[in-house]
Structure 1
Amino acid sequence: MEGFDFSSMTRPELFEFEGISMVHYFTDDWENVQNFQARPDDILVATYPKAGTTWVSYILDLLYFGNTAPERQTSIPIYLRVPFLEAVIPSLRTGVELANNLPTTPRLIKTHLPVQLVPKSFWEQNCRVIYVARNAKDNAVSYFHFDRMNHAEPDPGDWSNFLQMFMDGKNVFGPWYDHVRGYWKKKQTYSNLHYMFFEDMVENTDREVENLCSFLGLTTSSEERERITKNVHFDAMKQNRMTNYSTIPVMNFSVSPFMRKGKVGDWKKHFTVAENEKFDKHYEEKMKNTTLKFRTQI
């Protein structure tokens, strides 16, 4: 954000909260978050940070409101159209306030909370939940660059330091491993959860949008899907001030853009051979008791 003095904003400290690492920006409104009253037609987008949240949020917004309220696309930033439920960010209304005041039906809401901390009313109301997962290596790289430019996050230090923290689960919103596995397990007993993979979306966005429509019970023409796919192309979203987060005051775009590359396999430019071997061994241990499988290249 132009003219914002980043030196005046001290980075938050990480602390243990409800069994995971957190910062106060996501716990300051905790009681209201936990007591949030979901409605049966609410749609919750859940992800680990930097796994494709904004991408899927924008797809949903276009699917539901692209034709009926086109002015939304050019005048309201995505973080106001799809509020971040647990967030308490300086100069913005709280996520809960934004969600409660959404004029749309359905309400589109996003969260990074692990499955066990999602407000109970979403499950009680049988809301549709869309979870997006991204392979751990690319997710770690993206999170590292995000933490470098986002002053609402702790300082990540250098890459090797950050990677170790990622492996130890000492990132905001806790361990990646528990997060992706938690929702995968929930999906086995909760039929209204659609589990998506970032890699599948990069490989074939149209197919994934079609699968999403099928889950949501929406009928869209191939022309409509083509239009949406074009709008949500990474380069288009990166240039779009309503989707690229350039209007939010806590992110320093001179360090790194919010939307950096959106690719699969960028981790190869960051991991050393030794880091990769160590990571693979650790990953195998952490993920041995799950049927969940990821692709680190396509």
Structure 2
Amino acid sequence: MHSDGVQFADCFEGLFSKERKPPYGGWFSYEKDFEEAVSNNYNIHVLYFENLKRNPMVEIKRLAEYLQVPQSTKLLHEITDSCSFNKLKRADDTLKEKNKYKKIVVGANPKFEGDVDKVQYNSFFRKGEIGDWKNHFTVRQNERFDELYRKQMVDSKLTIYFE
């Protein structure tokens, strides 16, 4: 189940629905627009989660170079350590435990009229693993998605990592 109470299967079926249009054009539209922006040499840095997970130092160095930030090996190690999945998840959990999100939720919405103590704080962090999608897709869903992906992205040169 998604954090907003929607079942994954329902979201998945929305990809194939002609009646239910996804908000903001959907995933395929987003990817195509992004690919076009990159091909038009917009000032965009592309960072893939899978590459960051496999080679964090290399990817953080690439990001620092893109941002034109001076870096040292020590700084890159500190950033890699501080931004590790486990540390970020722990920080997220700590904010929840100390009710820091209440201030964020209520502060972001001055018209908030609900019971602050009943606000649900859904984690942005899941497992931090490459290929976790396999734990959510059935074999049939995977086959259907692969087929839809091939049709929708037929002219795409965009590199998408699924594992």
Displacement after TM superposition at 1:179 (Å):
0.8
Displacement after TM superposition at 1:268 (Å):
1.1
Match of 1:160 in 2: 9
**2 CA distance for matches of 1:187 and 1:216?**
17
Match of 2:141 in 1: 275
Match of 1:218 in 2: 69
Pairing 1:296–2:147 present: no
**1 CA distance for matches of 2:70 and 2:80?**
15
Could you tell me which amino acid in structure 2 is paired with residue 267 of structure 1?
Answer: W
Instruction: Count the aligned residue pairs.
Output: 144
Which consecutive aligned stretches of 4+ in structure 1 deviate over 6 angstroms post-superposition? 242-246
Match of 2:150 in 1: 284
Displacement after TM superposition at 1:244 (Å):
6.4
Structure 1 or 2: larger strand share? 1
Q: 1:249 aligns with which of 98, 101, 105?
A: 105
Pairing 1:145–2:2 present: yes
Match of 2:26 in 1: 175
8 Å contact 1:167–1:175 — kept in the other structure?
A: no
Change (3 A) 1:171 1:249: farther
Displacement after TM superposition at 1:211 (Å):
0.7
1:92-126 CA-to-partner distances (Å, cap 9, x unmatched) read xxxxxxxxxxxxxxxxxxxxxxxxxxxxxxxxxxx
Change (3 A) 1:192 1:281: same
TM-score normalised to structure 2 length:
0.76
Displacement after TM superposition at 1:259 (Å):
1.3
Counterparts of 1:88-107 in structure 2, within 5 Å, are: none
Larger radius of gyration: 2
What SS is found at the alignment partner of 1:175?
A: helix
Q: 2:132 aligns with which of 266, 278, 296?
A: 266
What SS is found at the alignment partner of 2:64?
A: helix
Q: What percent of counterpart residues are identical?
A: 28
What SS is found at the alignment partner of 1:282?
A: helix
Structure 1: 5+ residue runs without aligned partners? 1-143, 149-155
Change (3 A) 1:198 1:166: farther
CA RMSD of aligned residues (A): 2.5
Q: 2:55 aligns with which of 204, 211, 236?
A: 204
**2 CA distance for matches of 1:145 and 1:229?**
29
Displacement after TM superposition at 1:241 (Å):
4.1
8 Å contact 1:244–1:259 — kept in the other structure?
A: no
Change (3 A) 1:289 1:268: same
8 Å contact 1:165–1:171 — kept in the other structure?
A: yes
Could you tell me which amino acid in structure 2 is paired with residue 188 of structure 1?
Answer: S
Displacement after TM superposition at 1:214 (Å):
1.3
Q: Which shifted more, 195-204 or 279-288?
A: 195-204
Change (3 A) 1:191 1:162: closer
Displacement after TM superposition at 1:167 (Å):
4.5
